A and B are shown apart, each in its own frame.
Chain A
Amino acid sequence: MSRRSLLMGLVVIMLVVMGTVAVGATTNIEYWTTMTEENRQQVIRDLVSKFESENPGINVEIVPVEENDIPTKLAAGMAAGMLPEVTDMGAEMVLRLGAEEMLDVQAAADIINKIGRDDFYEGALKMLATPEGGNFAVPFHGWVQGIWYRKDLFAEKGLKPPTTWENILKAAKEFYSPDEQKYGIVIGTNKDAFARQTFTQYALSNNARVFNEKGEIVFNSPEMVEALKYYKELAQYTPPGPDGWRDSRDLYLSGRVPMMMYSTYIMDDIGVGNTDYEGFFVEDLGEKTALANVMTHKSSATFGQVSALSIIKGNEEPQVAAARKFIEFMLTGENYITYLHMAPGGSNPVRHSIASDPKYLDNPVLKVYGEEATNIAAGLNNIGKFGYVGGNVFTDMGKISAQFIIGEALLNMIERDWTPEETAEWAQEKMEKAIQ
C-alpha cells in the first residue's frame, strides 16, 4: 500500500466518524440515581422507556451511583466538565452543589409550582430551601430513620420500647451476649454516611448541634460531648469492630441483634422478605418488629432524609427542557407510584395527594404495616438535621458530610478509645478546616 492510499484511507475514516456524530439529533440527558440495586434499576429502566416512548427525541441515560461515591463522582464530573443533567440525591449533596451555584434554582421553582407547591410536604421543601427562600431542587421521596426492634423479645424481658436513652441502653445491656455472637444493638461506627445519620438522632435529642444560629461550628459544646459519651457507652454492646448499614440489616434479619438503627428501607426486607441478604432469616419477622422513630432525651428528635431531583446548571437549553419534562414525568400519578413501590415503605411520597392515594396504599408491604405506614410518611414533616438551625440553612454541612468527619470521629472514639472530649475537639478542628 502506498503512502497516498494510506492517507486517503485515514481521511475516509475521519469523515465517516464525523458524519455519524452529526446525524443523531436527539437530546441526551444523563440521570444519576442512588438506587443501585438490580430490581430497582429494572423499575427505573421501565419508567425511562415509557418516558422515551412518550417523548420521542429525548434519550435518558441512567447512571447508578453508590451513595458514598457521589461526592467523588461529582467532583470528577465537574473537573472533566461532564456533569449529568438530572440527579437524584440526598439533601446534603443538594445543598453542597447549591452552594457552589451548580443548580438551576429557577427550573426547580417552576416545576414545584407547576405540580403545586401546597401539595408538597412543607418539611421536605424546607430541607432543600435556599438561603434566599427558594428551593435548590424538587423533593422526590424520603425515608425516616429509627430503631427497629423485636417487640416479642422486649415483651418477654419486660422491657420498655427503645424511645429514650435509658431504655435503649438498658435493653442493649440486657441482650448483649458476645459468647453466643448475640449483641445488644447495631449503630453506625464506621467512617461513612451511616454513622453520621444514626448519631444525629442522639445528638439532636440532647439539643447538640453542629452549627449555632450564626453558622459557627459548635461541635465541642457540652451537649455534644454528652451525646458522644452516651454513644461510646452504647457502642460497647455492638458487634466487634466498626459497623455499617449492612451489618445492621444482616444481623437483625438473622436474629443476632434485637435492635438496630436503619431507615424505612428495611420495611420490604422484613415485611415480605424482599432482600439481597442470604442466610438464616428469623421467621415472621414482620409481625415481631416495631419501629421507634422518635428518640427522646432532653427533647424529641426524628431523623430522615429527603431525596430530590436537581437540574444541574450549565447544560444546553434543549437538555434543560428535557430534564424538566423528565422530572415532571417522574413525579406525576402512576409513574410516581410505580417508582415509590419499587421500595415500598422505604421511599415515602413527598406529596400529600399521593400519600393518601388508595392506589399508592394498595401494596403488600404497606398493608403489613397498615396505618403506621402513613404515620411514617408523615414523619418526613418533622425531620431534624445538623444543617438546619432555627429556620436557617447552612450549606456548609454538605462539606462536612462529604468528608465523613462525624463518622471518622466516632470510629476514632470507639475503636481507638479516644475520650469524648478529645473526639469533639478533633472533629471541631477538622470541621472548621473543611468549611474554610
Chain B
Amino acid sequence: MSKNEARLGYFLILPTVILIAGLILYPIGYNLTLSFFEVSLNPAKGNVFIGLQHYLEILTDYEFWSSFKTSVIFTLSTVLGTTLLGLGVALLLNREFKGRTILRGMVLLPYVTPLISLVFGWKYLFDPVFGMFNYIFVDMLNFFPHHLNWIESPQFAIYAVIIFNIWHNFPFSFLMILAELQSISGTLYEAAEVDGASAWQKFVHITLPELKFVIGALVILRTIWNFYKFAEVYLLSPAVETLPVYVYEKAFANYNFGQGAAIATILFIFVLGFILYYVRRVLEW
C-alpha cells in the first residue's frame, strides 16, 4: 500500500520535475555547451569545439568591461532609486488622509502600463522638436538655451534610462513596503512615545528594523532583474550599452552565439556570487 502510494507520489510530481528540468536545467546546460563552441549559422555545417577561447576573448575585450561598468552604474542607481522612492512614497501614503485609496491606486500606474506604450510616450514627451518637455523648459521657461534630444543623445541617454527605470519600477517597492508597514503593530509606536522618542527615532528604531527583510528582499530582486534588464534599456535608447545589450549584439547582430553564451555564463557566475554573499552577510539568513 505505502509503496504503491509512494510510486503514485513520484508519478504525480513527475510533470513538475520534467518542467523544471526542461525549462531551467536544459537551457543552462545547453548555454554552457554552446560557450565552448564556434557556433555555425548554417545548420548543415557543424559547430567547432574551441575550448575556453571565447572566455579569454571576452575577458580581454575592452567593450565588455565598459559595458560591465555601465551595467553596474545602471543597477546600483536604479536599485537605490526604486527602493528609496518606494520607501518614501509608502511612508507618506501610510498616513491617514482623504483620497488615500485613489492615490495609492494611481501610484501603481507606471508599473502596470505596458512597457512599449510608456517608451513611446516618453520618446514623444522628450522629442527634440515636437516634445512637450522642450516646449515648457526651453521655449516657455528658458531654462536651457536650445532644444535637446533628452533621450537619444549619448550624453543624456544613460540618465534617461535610469530615471525611466526608477519611475517605472518604484511602485513595486512601494507596494511591498506598504504591505509590511501596515503589519507593524501600533503598540510599538505607543510604547516609544511613552518613552519620549522623536519621529526620527521611531523611524530608525522601529520602522526600519521591521522593514529590514522586505527591503532586503526588494534589493536582491531588483538587482537580479535590473542587472539583466534588456527591453527597457534597448527600447528607450540602444546607445546605452549595458551587458545584456552587449550580449544581444554579440549573439544576434554579430551572429556569434558561442561568444554570447560565454558572456551569459560569466554574468551568471557573477550574479550567483553576489547573491550568495548578499544573502549570508547582509541578510544573515
Contacts and interface: CB of A to CB of B under 8 A. Distances in A.
Contact of A241 (B8, B41, B45, B149): B149
A72 interface: yes
Contacts of A403: 249, 253-254
Q: Is the interface of B mostly helix, strand, loop or mixed?
A: loop
A434 interface: yes
B149 A242 contact: yes
A242 B152 contact: yes
A314 B253 contact: no
A416 interface: yes
A181 interface: yes
B239 A191 contact: yes
Given A72-B252, A181-B129, A411 B154 contact: yes
B154 A416 contact: yes
Interface in A279-326: 279, 314
Contacts of A181: 129, 147
A76 interface: yes
A362 interface: no
Contacts of B129: 181, 239, 247, 251, 256
Interface string B241-285: 000000011011111010000000000000000000000000000
A3 B5 CA distance: 12
A116 interface: no
Interface in A46-104: 71-72, 75-76, 78-79, 81, 100-102
A415 B253 contact: no
A241 B148 contact: yes
Given A256-B129, A411-B154, A240 B146 contact: yes
Contacts of B154: 411-412, 415-416
Nearest to B255: A75
A178 interface: yes
A240 B153 contact: yes
Nearest to A433: B254
B153 A241 contact: yes
Contacts of B209: none
Nearest to A72: B252
Interface in B113-164: 128-130, 146-149, 151-155
Nearest to A257: B129
Contacts of A102: 41-42
A404 B153 contact: no
Contact of A415 (B41, B153, B248, B254): B153
Nearest to A408: B239
Contact of A71 (B39, B146, B252): B252
B43 A78 contact: yes
A60 to B, nearest CB: 23
Nearest to A101: B42
A78 B147 contact: no
Contacts of B44: 101, 314
B143 to A, nearest CB: 15
B81 interface: no
Contact of A100 (B41, B128, B130): B41
17 contacts: A71-B252, A79-B41, A101-B44, A102-B41, A178-B146, A181-B129, A181-B147, A239-B128, A239-B147, A240-B146, A241-B128, A241-B149, A399-B255, A402-B255, A404-B253, A411-B239, A415-B154
Given A75-B251, A179-B146, 15 more contacts: A71-B252, A79-B41, A81-B43, A100-B41, A100-B42, A178-B146, A178-B147, A181-B129, A190-B152, A191-B238, A191-B239, A240-B146, A250-B130, A279-B130, A402-B255
Interface of B: 8, 39, 41-45, 128-130, 146-149, 151-155, 238-239, 248-249, 251-255, 257
